[in-house]
């Protein structure tokens, strides 16, 4: 019996790697709940990342550092329940892979048990022991280098990385070492396009870029950025494909106006009472005994 539906197969790592080898660009977005997962799935994205950006995008934190495994699991569960065909990936939050290999396997394994097919973690050469241990435990890993948001304090904020030759070489080396340690893909964030091109050309596994120019094997954006759901200006690397915030806040403004004016709900949006119940209620309210 075949497990593959020819129409749209569940996206697997070999499929992704095959597509990238054929030159087909890979599409990845974040999702944090069943609504955003259904949106990403309906659009046919290849990879859904339950990103630790849930911290700043959905939970009101200033950066991703306060995000815990418990928070991530809560959001991953919501996305996994939608059973996407896109490959589901869990983002390892701060301190979930810094305290030793066993702890990292337990946390990453938790994501896999909940329905993720892979995990992503930040950092270059210093993460090699953890990457090797996860891969040994049959947990596929996407590396993440360049601007790594969990290094917010060490980097002194969110700054483009790899502009000077020393750091550019370090990024090239980190990418190759992550690949050699078993990463099936490497995410490049916030680095010059020319450097991302060189990294992509030097690897056999696909690269996914965010703020890393057009030469990567694929691209990822936060879904709220693609949809323009957040108020205020977007960063330079974001392209908004909708003005979701304006569109949706205008819809809510019209709803408020209709509630206040009495235009909502209409009869068509209300449930009716059968005539016999209306008569019985009238009699009961006027104090007469009810006759069927
Ligand atoms: O958490 C996140 O959204 C990320 C992005 C870089 C895709 O890691």
Q: Which of 4, 62, 138, 189 is catalytic?
A: 189
What pLDDT, on a 0 to 100 scale, did the predictor assign at position 9?
81
Low-confidence residues of the chain: pLDDT under 50 = 1-5
225 lines ligand 1 (CB under 6 A): no
Nearest ligand 1 atom to the CA of 30 is: 3
Q: Tell me how far CA of residue 27 lies from CA of 40, 196, 205, 217, 253, in angstroms.
A: 10, 17, 15, 9, 34
- Domains and their CATH numbers in the chain: 13-226 (3.20.20.60), 247-285 (no CATH)
189 lines ligand 1 (CB under 6 A): yes
The residue to which tokens 């992509």 are assigned: 200
Q: Which residues of 19-55 are buried (b: 16+ CB within 10 A; e: fewer)?
A: bbeeeeebbbbbbbbeebbeebbeeebbbbbbbbbbb
What pLDDT, on a 0 to 100 scale, did the predictor assign at position 6?
53
53 lines ligand 1 (CB under 6 A): yes
What pLDDT, on a 0 to 100 scale, did the predictor assign at position 290?
55
122 lines ligand 1 (CB under 6 A): no
Round to whole Å and give the CA distance between 1 and 291: 65
Residue nearest (by alpha carbon) to ligand 1 atom 4: 51
Nearest ligand 1 atom to the CA of 122 is: 8
* Closest C-alpha among 200, 210, 219 to residue 26: 219
What pLDDT, on a 0 to 100 scale, did the predictor assign at position 3?
45
* CA angle (81 as vertex; 15, 188 as ends), nearest 5: 45
Q: Which two tokens stand for residue 87?
A: 């490959």
Radius of gyration of the chain (CA): 25
Round to whole Å and give the CA distance between 53 and 136: 27
What is the separation of C-alpha 15 from the centre of its chain, rounded to a whole number of angstroms? 20
243 is an active site residue? no
Testing ligand 1's pocket by substitution, the residue of 26, 28, 30 carrying the most ligand atoms inside 8 A of its CB is 30
Round to whole Å and give the CA distance between 118 and 157: 28
- Ligand 1 centroid–CA 82 distance in Å is 20
Q: Do residues 29 and 84 make contact, with C-beta atoms less than 8 angstroms apart?
A: no
Round to whole Å and give the CA distance between 229 and 9: 30
From first CA to last CA, the distance across the chain in angstroms is 61
What is the separation of C-alpha 34 from the centre of its chain, rounded to a whole number of angstroms? 11
What pLDDT, on a 0 to 100 scale, did the predictor assign at position 2?
39
Q: Do residues 105 and 141 make contact, with C-beta atoms less than 8 angstroms apart?
A: no
Max Cα–Cα distance, the chain, nearest Å: 93
């Amino acid at each position: 019996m075949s497990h593959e539906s020819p129409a749209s197969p569940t996206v697997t790592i070999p499929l992704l790697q095959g597509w990238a080898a054929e030159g087909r660009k890979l599409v990845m977005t974040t999702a944090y709940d069943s609504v955003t997962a259904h949106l990403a799935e309906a659009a046919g994205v290849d990879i859904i990342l339950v990103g630790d950006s849930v911290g700043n995008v959905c939970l009101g934190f200033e950066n991703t550092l306060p995000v815990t495994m418990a928070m991530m699991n809560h959001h991953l569960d919501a996305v996994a329940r939608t059973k996407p065909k896109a490959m589901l990936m869990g983002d390892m939050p701060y301190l979930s892979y810094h305290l030793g290999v066993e702890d990292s396997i337990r946390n990453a394994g938790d994501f896999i048990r909940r329905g993720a097919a892979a995990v992503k973690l930040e950092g270059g050469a210093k993460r090699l022991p953890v990457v090797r241990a996860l891969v040994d435990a049959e947990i596929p890993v996407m590396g993440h280098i360049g601007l790594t948001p969990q290094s917010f304090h060490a980097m002194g904020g969110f700054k483009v990385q790899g502009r000077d030759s020393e750091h550019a070489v370090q990024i090239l080396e980190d990418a190759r070492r992550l690949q050699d340690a078993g990463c099936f893909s490497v995410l490049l964030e916030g680095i010059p396009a020319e450097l991302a091109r060189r990294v992509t050309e030097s690897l056999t596994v696909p690269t996914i870029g965010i703020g890393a120019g057009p030469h990567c094997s694929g691209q990822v954006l936060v879904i709220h950025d693609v949809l323009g759901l957040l108020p205020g200006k977007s960063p330079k690397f974001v392209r908004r494909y909708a003005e979701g915030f304006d569109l949706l806040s205008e819809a809510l403004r019209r709803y408020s106006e209709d509630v206040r004016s009495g235009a909502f709900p209409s009869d068509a949006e209300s449930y009716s009472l059968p005539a016999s119940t209306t008569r019985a209620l009238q009699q009961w309210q006027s104090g007469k005994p009810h006759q069927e």
